[in-house]
């Protein structure tokens, strides 16, 4: 499900890969029975990205990070995401070595990893986003994800395409980090 310009902050159980609905069509209560994941929306200046309205309307469990910016505190009770935690639908929270404010998700049924800010795409090239501990923590953690049998990665930030194949991910780990 998409939510206006904050679409990349939201993943619902049955909508992460299918794209079967217009981004502005609401889901029925039956369709929303799965789960909701969110992150801080401060960068987009969207107050809570509609997450509280979504959780209230559909009465779903909410999952999120440990930290929110003071001007973006959720009203809904959130369950903290931890690496290796299995979420409804068999989705698994992963560790990306970047400070755990963004938690990648492994969707085994779709053979896909969904990233928040760990990766970006610029001029058609998938890149790892720079962090102060890029060599020491981020790259080893991201290399560890190669043990998963994924075929695709979905990213939140880029110039063109949000979906990339495994080969693009492997190339990204060999390139200098994106510092833009």
| pLDDT at position 34 | 44
Domain stop point among 64, 80, 96: 80
Task: Verify that 61 and 99 share a domain, yes or no.
Answer: no
| pLDDT at position 100 | 60
Tell me the mean pLDDT in the region 45-63: 70
Task: Verify that 89 and 74 share a domain, yes or no.
Answer: no
CA 24 to CA 3: how far, in whole Å? Answer: 7
Task: Verify that 154 and 177 share a domain, yes or no.
Answer: yes
Task: Verify that 98 and 122 share a domain, yes or no.
Answer: yes
Distances (CA, A) of 18 to 21, 27, 60, 132: 8, 14, 20, 35
- Residue 137: which CATH number? 3.60.15.10
Domain stop point among 20, 52, 80: 80
- Token pair listed for 118: 């760990």
| pLDDT at position 26 | 52
How confident is the model over 2-33, as pLDDT tens digits?
222 232 234 433 333 333 344 445 544 444 44
| pLDDT at position 146 | 98
How confident is the model over 113-160, as pLDDT tens digits?
999 889 999 999 999 998 888 889 999 999 999 999 999 999 988 888
This prediction has a pTM of 0.73
Residue where the block lists tokens 């469990």:
61
Of the two residues 21 and 166, the one the predictor is more confident about is 166
| pLDDT at position 49 | 55
Question: What is the domain extent for residue 54?
Answer: 1-80
| pLDDT at position 112 | 96
How confident is the model over 57-96, as pLDDT tens digits?
877 788 877 777 788 778 888 888 889 999 888 899 999 9
DSSP 8-state assignment for residue 158: B
SS3 content of the chain, % helix, strand, coil (to 5): 30, 20, 50
């Amino acid at each position: 499900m998409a939510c206006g310009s904050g679409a990349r902050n939201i993943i619902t159980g049955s909508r992460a890969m299918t794209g079967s609905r217009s981004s502005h069509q609401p889901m029925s209560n039956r369709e929303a029975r799965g789960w909701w994941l969110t992150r801080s929306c401060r960068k987009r200046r969207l107050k809570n990205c509609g997450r509280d309205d979504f959780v209230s309307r559909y009465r779903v469990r909410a999952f999120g990070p440990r930290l929110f910016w003071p001007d973006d505190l959720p009203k809904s009770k959130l369950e903290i995401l931890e690496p290796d935690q299995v979420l409804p639908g068999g989705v698994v929270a992963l560790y990306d070595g970047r400070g755990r404010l963004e938690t990648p998700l492994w969707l085994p049924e779709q053979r896909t990893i969904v990233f928040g800010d760990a990766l970006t795409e610029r001029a058609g090239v998938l890149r790892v986003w720079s962090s102060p501990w890029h060599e020491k923590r981020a790259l080893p953690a991201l290399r560890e994800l190669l043990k998963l049998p994924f075929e695709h990665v979905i990213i939140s930030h880029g110039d063109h395409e949000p979906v990339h194949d495994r080969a693009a991910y492997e190339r990204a780990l060999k390139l200098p980090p994106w510092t833009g």
